[in-house]
Amino acid sequence: QGQLVESGGGSVQAGGSLRLSCGVSTYKYSTNSMGWFRQVPGKEREGVAVLYTRDGSTFYADSVKGRFDISQDNAKNILYLQMNNLQPEDTAMYYCAAAQADPRLWLLDPRDLGYWGQGTQVTVSS
């Protein structure tokens, strides 16, 4: 059951942009990594971007480097994922999560650690 709440998903044409948001205030002090993950029905969950809150380091899947940007507004306790130049292969359910984890490993192996949202759908048409 989701404990974080994502927003900002929707439908766009290829080349368009979306910004996903996730409220993280409840979990920011018990976790050291926050990230965005995505999943397509019938496929395994994929790590998209992870932010290591201890020092602000960010990590991205190769498929989104240069197009997506993960950031956190500390004053508002919101985690963002700015997605630019979206492509049809980016279509998926996107999940926000927060965990005590090695950010590099969590990105590569997005197991069910910590707290997760219920997801927001992103659909990109060609």
Query: For 104-117, how does the pLDDT look when each residue is reduced to its tens digit (9 = 90+)?
Result: 999 999 988 889 99
Average model confidence (pLDDT) across the chain: 93
Cα-based distances in Å from 19 to 2, 30, 31, 43: 20, 25, 23, 23
pLDDT category of residue 32 using cuts at 50, 70 and 90: very high
Query: For 43-52, how does the pLDDT look when each residue is reduced to its tens digit (9 = 90+)?
Result: 999 999 999 9
What pLDDT score does 1 carry? 43
Of the candidates 107, 120, 117, the residue with the CA atom closest to the CA atom of residue 48: 107
Q: Residue 106 phi/psi, 5° resolution?
A: -65, -35
DSSP state of 67: T
**Which two structure tokens, joined as six digits, stand for 35?**
């990230």
Nearest-Å Rg of the Cα atoms of the chain is 13
Which string of b and e fits 95-113 if b means at least 16 CB within 10 Å? bbbbbebbbeebbeebeeb
Position 34, amino acid? M
Which alpha helices (DSSP H) does the chain contain, by range? 103-108
Q: Which residues contact 67 (CB under 8 A, 6 or more apart)?
A: 83, 84, 85, 86
In whole angstroms, give the CA distance from residue 80 to residue 14: 20
